[in-house]
Structure 1
Amino acid sequence: MNRTLLNAALSVYDLGWKAALPLLRFNHRLKDGWEQRTLSGGLPAPAHLWIQAASGGEAYLAWAVLKELVPLPNETLRVLVTTNTRQGHEILTNAAREIHSTRKGIAVQPWYFPFDSPGLMRRTVRHVRPSAALILETEIWPGFLSACRESGVHVLLANGRMTSKSLGGYLAWPGLFRALGPERIMAVSETDARRFGTLFGRERVWVMPNIKFDRMAGAGPLARKDNPLREIIPDRTNFVVFGSVRKQEKIEVAKIAAALMRYKTGTVIGLFPRHMHHMPLWEKAMNEVGVTWTLRSALKGAASPGTVVLWDTFGELVPAYGLAKTAFVGGSLARLGGQNFLEPLTCGVTPVIGPHWKNFAWVGREIVESGLALEAEDAEHALNLLIEVLEKTPPRSEVASRAKAYIRDRQGGAKATAKQVADFLNKV
C-alpha cells in the first residue's frame, strides 16, 4: 500500500474518531478513565515497553508476562500497561503492586488505552517513546500501529488468536493491515497462525504455548476442611455441578437435570447460570420439568437430597467444583463456543462438555482423547456420561494430578513472550 493512500485512510479514520468522541462521552463503560483515554488529564510517563491488554482476560496474561520480564542491565525497565476496561485496569493495578513488591528493576504504570484516533496515538507514542510494544491476543488498532511504525517502535503480537469472522473483516482492506501489521506474531495454534499469516504474511508468524496455561500453574483441589461450601454439601452427597450454563441450552439442561434426578435419587445439582440476570428463566425451566429447586441464597443449612440449587450468589463456582463428583460445563450444547472446563479439572473433577467448545480449542483436542474431559454428542449423551462418572467416580487426587501434568506440559508461553520482548529491547 503506497504512503499516500495509507495517509488518506488514516485521515478518514481520524475524522471518524473526532466525530465519535462527543457521543462516546455518554457511554457509561467509557466514563472510567475518560481523562486518560482522551489525554485530557495528561500523558503517561515515558516507558521502554508498552503492553496493551484489552480487558480482564488479557490483563491476567499481561500479569503473567510481567513476572517473566528481564530487567535492563543498567537501569530500571519501565513498563506502561494499558487496557480498555475498568476490570482490566483493576487487574493491572494489582499486578503493578505485586511486581513492585516482589521484583527489582521493573516499574509498571497502569493506564487506560487512549482512544485510537491517529492524532491521539501519535501524541502518546511520541511522549512515551517506547522501544517495543506488546499486543496480547487480537488488538489490531490502526491508530496505535501507525503511531508505532512512525516512531520506529518494534511491535510484537503474542498469544494471538483470530477467528475466521475477524479475518474476514480485516480482509476487507488487507493492504492497510499488512502495511501496519506487527513485526512479529506469536499465535496459540496452527489454525490461528494460518489466519494471521493470511492477513500479515506467514513469514511474520509462528506458534507459541498459550499463556493461559502459565496462569494455572498453582491451581489445585481445595481440601474439604477449607471449602466454604462444606456445610451446604454434606460429605458423600452425589453432588453434580452444572457450571456456566447458558439460556440457549436451558431446555436441554433442564431435561438432563430431571433425568439425572430420576436415575440417581438423592442427587443434589448445583446449577450456575453464566448470566445471573437469567435466573427467572432457570426457575421457569425447572418448574416445567417438575424438579424440586431452591435458591442458594435461601439455603440455611445443607441442601436437601433430590434438589436443584439455583446458584444466585457470585464467586462460589470453583468451591462448588471442589465438592462435586462430576460436572457439566455449559455453553457447549448450543453453538456458543463453550465455557471454562479446566476449572473443574484442576479441582479434581471430570467434566462433561457438549460438542461446541471452539472458544477453548487452545486447550488441545488431546484433553478429550486422553479422557480428562468427556465430550458428549448431544444432551442425551451428556446425561449418560454424567451417570457413568457418578457410578465410578475417579479419585479427586488422580484427576487433579493428571490435569496438572497436562497443563505443565503446555506451559512456557509467558517466558517465550518475555524472551521476544527482550530481543526487541536489545535491538535498540
Structure 2
Amino acid sequence: MQSAWPLLDLLARENPGEIVLLSTTTATGRETAFRLADGLFGEHLYYPWDVPRIVRRSLDRIRPKGYIVMETEIWPVMLMELKKRSIPAFLANGRFSERTARNVRKRPAFWRQAYDLFSLLLVRSAADRDFLADLGVPEEKLRVTGDCKVDALLLRKRATDLSPVRKVVAGKGPVFVAGSTHQGEESIALAAFRKVRERIPQARLVIAPRHPERSGDVLEAASRTAEAALLSQTEGPGGASWDILVIDRIGVLFDLYGVSDGAFIGGSLVDKGGQNIMEPAAFGIPFSHGPFMRDFVESAGELGKLGAATLVQTDAEMAAHWERCLDQNEQEKARLGSAAYFQAVGGAAKATLDEIRREMTKK
C-alpha cells in the first residue's frame, strides 16, 4: 500500500476522470489505504479468492481496462483469465528478496510461466530485472523504473504535521533517536548515550523498539541510565518528564526523525537485515546504521557515499557519530547528500505510469 500510494496520487491528478478500483488482502491494508490515500480511488474491495469461478465473476462485474499489482503479489488464476480476455496486466515496483528468490528457484518453470502472463514487469532495480531475465522471462517485458516507496516517503513528508512531536521533545538539549531497535541494540544505544552525556549533559535520547510490546523491558533498562518514561506517560497535563523517552506505540517514529538532531537505525547491529534508512534521510538528518543492511544494501551504500549515512559497530562509534551530528558541517553534508539521493532515485511512480500508459495505447 505504501508503494501504491504515489501511483494513486498521480492517477488522481493526471487522470481525474478515470475510476480506480483498489483492492487489499487484509484489514490492515484496507486501513492503511484509507489513511494514506482516501479520496484517491473510487472504491475499495478485498481481493477476490484466486479460484476460477470467483475470478471470472469478478472480472465480469468490474470489466477493467487494465490491472496493476504491487511488488510480489502473484495470482496465477487472475493472470490467466486476464490474458484470455486481452486485458493488460502489470507488475509495479517488482522486488525480489533473497527469500522470494529462493522460493522461485524451487519451481522455476511454474514461475517463469506466471511472470510471462504479465504485459510488463516494472521492477525496482537492475538486480530485480536480471533475476527475472535469468529465470527466462522475455527481456522486452522488463523495465527498471525505481522504487515507488521513495516517492511515498516524500509524499508522507509533505503531508506530515510535526507540531505534535515537537511538543513531545520540547525542551533544552539535543535529541537523538534510536529507531526500530531490536533486542540487543538498546543496550548499545544506552551505552552510547551515557558516553554522550559525559560531554553533553543536556542530551536526550528517544528509543523506538521495532516491536512496541517490548517497550516495558526497554523502559526498565533505560531507567538504569537516566530518567526515563514511556511516550504514553508523557501525554496530557502533568505528563512525566524524561531524559530517555521509550516509544510504546506505532506510527510516530517517522515524525520523530523530523525533529531529531541525529539517529541510529536498528535491525542493523543484530542480523535483521536493517530497517528503513530512507525515513531519516527524507528529513535530511545525519544517521548511522550497523553492518547488517542486506535489505537496504544499495540505499545504504549510496547514502554513505553522499555523506548522509555512517556505519557504526560499537557504542563508542555510535556516541562519536551522535556528537558529530551537532556539527553544522555534518548537518549540511547530510542534508545535501540526502537531497541528492532522492533527486537521483525519485520519480519511480511517474516512470511506472508512463510505461503502463505506453503499453496500453498499443492495445
Q: Match for residue 47 of structure 1? A: none
Q: Match for residue 203 of structure 2? A: 267
Q: Match for residue 323 of structure 1? A: 259
Shift of 1:364: 6.0
The answer as to whether partners of 1:337 and 1:357 remain within 8 angstroms in 2 is: yes
Query: Counterparts of 2:165 and 2:355 in 1: how far apart (Å)?
Result: 44
Q: Match for residue 312 of structure 2? A: 376
With over 3 angstroms needed to count, the CA separation of the structure-2 counterparts of 1:395 and 1:255, relative to structure 1, is closer
Match of 1:154 among 88, 101, 114: 88
Q: Match for residue 22 of structure 1? A: none
Query: Counterparts of 1:227 and 1:157 in 2: how far apart (Å)?
Result: 38
The answer as to whether partners of 1:57 and 1:88 remain within 8 angstroms in 2 is: no
- Structure 1 residue 297 corresponds to structure 2 residue 242: no
With over 3 angstroms needed to count, the CA separation of the structure-2 counterparts of 1:172 and 1:265, relative to structure 1, is same
Q: Match for residue 421 of structure 1? A: 356
- Structure 1 residue 354 corresponds to structure 2 residue 270: no
TM-score calculated relative to the size of structure 2: 0.85
- Structure 1 residue 177 corresponds to structure 2 residue 111: yes
The answer as to whether partners of 1:240 and 1:324 remain within 8 angstroms in 2 is: yes
- Structure 1 residue 123 corresponds to structure 2 residue 123: no
Q: Match for residue 282 of structure 1? A: 218
Q: Match for residue 143 of structure 2? A: 206
The answer as to whether partners of 1:162 and 1:196 remain within 8 angstroms in 2 is: no
The answer as to whether partners of 1:241 and 1:324 remain within 8 angstroms in 2 is: yes
Shift of 1:371: 0.5
1:349-395 CA distances to partner (integer Å, 9 max, x unpaired)? Answer: 211111223333453622110101222244443333223224x2448
The answer as to whether partners of 2:293 and 2:300 remain within 8 angstroms in 1 is: no
Q: Match for residue 8 of structure 2? A: 63
Query: Counterparts of 1:79 and 1:142 in 2: how far apart (Å)?
Result: 22
TM-align CA RMSD: 3.1
The answer as to whether partners of 1:96 and 1:110 remain within 8 angstroms in 2 is: no
TM-score calculated relative to the size of structure 1: 0.73
Percent identity of paired positions between Structure 1 and Structure 2: 24
- Structure 1 residue 136 corresponds to structure 2 residue 77: no
The answer as to whether partners of 1:158 and 1:417 remain within 8 angstroms in 2 is: yes
1:50-69 CA distances to partner (integer Å, 9 max, x unpaired)? Answer: xxxxxx32442442453465
Shift of 1:235: 5.1
* Structure 2, unaligned runs of 5 or more: none
Tell which deviates more after alignment, 208-217 or 134-143. 208-217
With over 3 angstroms needed to count, the CA separation of the structure-2 counterparts of 1:383 and 1:171, relative to structure 1, is same
With over 3 angstroms needed to count, the CA separation of the structure-2 counterparts of 1:389 and 1:153, relative to structure 1, is same
Structure showing greater Rg: 1
1:53-112 CA distances to partner (integer Å, 9 max, x unpaired)? Answer: xxx3244244245346547xxxx533322111223223444677534xxxxxxx733211
Q: Which amino acid aligns with 1:177?
A: W
With over 3 angstroms needed to count, the CA separation of the structure-2 counterparts of 1:222 and 1:61, relative to structure 1, is closer
Q: Which amino acid aligns with 1:308?
A: I
Tell which deviates more after alignment, 401-410 or 110-119. 401-410
The answer as to whether partners of 2:289 and 2:312 remain within 8 angstroms in 1 is: yes
SS in 2 for 1:98: coil
Shift of 1:139: 1.1
SS in 1 for 2:86: coil
Shift of 1:236: 4.6
With over 3 angstroms needed to count, the CA separation of the structure-2 counterparts of 1:164 and 1:340, relative to structure 1, is closer
1:170-192 CA distances to partner (integer Å, 9 max, x unpaired)? Answer: 22222222222223212111112
1:248-300 CA distances to partner (integer Å, 9 max, x unpaired)? Answer: 5334334333333345333211111122111122134335x644422233333
1:95-144 CA distances to partner (integer Å, 9 max, x unpaired)? Answer: 77534xxxxxxx73321111222332233234433232112111122222
The answer as to whether partners of 1:294 and 1:309 remain within 8 angstroms in 2 is: yes
SS in 1 for 2:345: coil
Q: Match for residue 409 of structure 1? A: 344
Q: Which amino acid aligns with 2:341?
A: Y
Query: Counterparts of 2:37 and 2:203 in 1: how far apart (Å)?
Result: 45
SS in 1 for 2:208: strand
SS in 2 for 1:157: strand
